[in-house]
Amino acid sequence: MLVAIIASVAALVVVWHLIQNYQNQIQTAQQEEEMHLAIVAARTLYQGLTITEEDLIGVEMPFEYIPAGSFASPEEVVGRVPRERILANEFIRKERLADRSAGIGLNALISRGMRAVSINITNGSALSGFLNPGNYVDVLVTINPQVEGAGDDQTFTLLQAVYVLAVRARMVQDNMRSGAGEVRGRGSAPSVTLQVTPEQAEQLAHARQKGTITLLLRNDLDLQFTETQGATVKSLLGVDDKPKVKARRAPAPKPKQTLLIYKGTRSKEYTYDTPPSR
């Protein structure tokens, strides 16, 4: 009898502990989880276009679901410039925005020592709408036979691996602010903005005056230089009369370094170009 009583009491204690654990779990599940504010894009944001308050929305969610580097207030984002395209409903993160000290607009994305040049070309030469900011292109030039001393038509690769800063920047800005969605043609030639060196900018300007420019889209991971010999009517017919023109590779955008300086509970972020390796 004594053993039976002790076993019964032990069983009751175990059952009581199980009931208490279940009750605690139910109470924990019923408690509202603490929510935190995170800033996301209300619509697609394009690089080089200054972010406005209408471009942002705030969502509340548990802290563990918010990615590192996200912003908690729109004041920290308004006036900044995206380094790359940010899709609608994506979190706005620090590494995807240009530093405030770099300025506003497209100039915030241009690497030091480089220049931005815009060229207006036909839709076919602009890759029929498949070209996006952040891509890399090769630049072909076809010299017209009317140019003095040019002789036969010549097509050759002028530049390789040129970084695209913007595509139809003004059209994007006009349509995105009005909520019109993706960019569509308006009957005018698309404007493509490329990042080049000062010397390459001169070559592009001269080539645009003397011939026709065509862009070739290339894989973003394939930036190797390829030597070409160009083409003429005779070379297409099998006659060995290739123009001796060599393309030049445009330097890729310089990577940027970020430095965080802490003063007490405050921190300030500085972005600068990576110094050349020795």
- Provide long-range contacts, Cβ within 8 A and 24+ apart, for 216-224: 216/137, 216/138, 216/139, 216/140, 217/127, 217/130, 217/131, 217/135, 217/136, 217/137, 218/135, 218/136, 218/137, 218/138, 218/161, 219/136, 220/134, 220/135, 220/136, 223/136, 223/161, 223/249, 223/252
Q: Which residues pair with 136 in a beta bridge?
A: 163, 218
- CATH for 35-107 is 3.90.1210.10
Domain with CATH 3.90.1210.10 in the chain: 35-107
Higher pLDDT, residue 71 or 226: 71
Q: Are 235 and 264 in contact (CB under 8 A)?
A: no
Report, as an integer, the average pLDDT of 145-173: 71
* 49: confidence class by pLDDT, cuts 50, 70, 90: confident
Phi then psi dihedrals of residue 16, to 5 deg: -60, -45
- Residue 90: pLDDT band (50, 70, 90) is very high
pTM exceeds 0.75, yes or no = no
CB 209 within 8 A of CB 129: no
Q: What is the pLDDT of residue 277?
A: 42
Q: Evaluate whether 46 touches 175 at the Cβ level (below 8 Å).
A: no
Cα distances from 138 to residues 38, 135, 160, 181, 204, in angstroms, run: 40, 10, 4, 29, 12
How do residues 29-40 score in pLDDT, each as one tens digit? 666 678 889 999
